Amino acid sequence: MQNNNSNLKTKTKILIADDEALIRQDIKEILTEAGYDVVAEAKDGYHALELAKITLPDLLLLDIKMPNINGLEAAEEIQIALNKRMPTVILTAYNQPDLIQKAGEVGAYAFLTKPVKPQDLIASIETAKARAKEMEGLNQDISDLKEKLEIRKLVEKAKGIIMKNMALEEPEAMHYLQKKSMDDRVSIKSVAEEIINRR
């Protein structure tokens, strides 16, 4: 019978990259047993980049010191290639503060020192997923605010045109915009854009 944990993890697709085959195997076993879906295993950063393009993982688990492209560079390259910020867990044999700071800059939400303990690995993955979701929410909020501000600017500009062209006061101009939006069954943004473009 399938491990119940798999339901909790909703089969997160994970790419593992480490130049040591035994470490990759150990990590894969821990993750598979915990209900995750290991979609790719890479021996270096370049290999990780190539596999990420094919497998489209949800999360990256990368060793920091690898030949060709290191883990931090690989994380950056993968995110550029897939055009999305991706939760990343960085593995290292050393605890280096400068690397931890650089890891944060490329979207690494967790940092694990080897040898990896199963409970630490799973906790790091879940932390990285939660932080990524949090960031996604914040980015959405920022995007929504920008959109609202953009609409407000357009409406103000359109109101100014209506007030001038139709000799209306500000509240009447606003009412005109709202009514036209309702009558035409389009957003107030569309009405404002139409008035600005028609000018």
Please state, rounded to an integer, the average pLDDT across all residues of the chain: 84
pLDDT tier at 1, thresholds 50, 70, 90: very low
SS3 content of the chain, % helix, strand, coil (to 5): 65, 15, 25
pLDDT of residue 96: 64
pLDDT value of position 109: 79
Alpha-carbon span 125 to 164, nearest angstrom: 59
61 pairs with which residues across the strands? 16, 89
- Residue 116, phi then psi, degrees to nearest 5: -85, 130
Tell me what pLDDT residue 101 has: 67
Give 84-136 pLDDT, tens digit per residue.
888 899 888 766 666 666 766 666 778 788 888 888 899 889 888 888 787 77
- Which region among 5-14, 28-37, 138-147 has the lowest average model confidence (pLDDT)? 5-14
> Tens digits of per-residue pLDDT, 157-189?
998 888 888 888 888 888 888 888 888 888 988
Q: How confident is the model at residue 8 (pLDDT cuts 50, 70, 90)?
A: very low
pLDDT range class, residue 9, cuts 50, 70, 90: very low
Amino acid at 92: T
Q: Tell me the average pLDDT across 11-17.
A: 92
Q: Using alpha carbons only, give the angle 187, 182, 143 rounded to the nearest 5 degrees.
A: 20
Q: What pLDDT sits at residue 198?
A: 85
Q: For residues 73 and 88, is the Cβ–Cβ distance under 8 A?
A: no
Q: Which domains does the chain have, with CATH numbers?
A: 5-116 (3.40.50.2300), 144-198 (1.10.10.10)
Cite the beta strand spans of 64-137 per DSSP E: 88-92, 108-113
**What is the pLDDT at residue 11?**
86
Rounded Cα gap, residues 168 and 180, in angstroms: 15
Say whether pLDDT at 31 is over 90: yes
pLDDT of residue 36: 93
pLDDT above 90 coverage of the chain, percent:
24
Give Cα 183 to chain centroid, integer Å: 39
Cis peptide bond upstream of 115, omega within 30: yes
DSSP-derived pairing of the beta strands 59-63 and 88-92: parallel
Q: State the pLDDT at residue 62.
A: 92
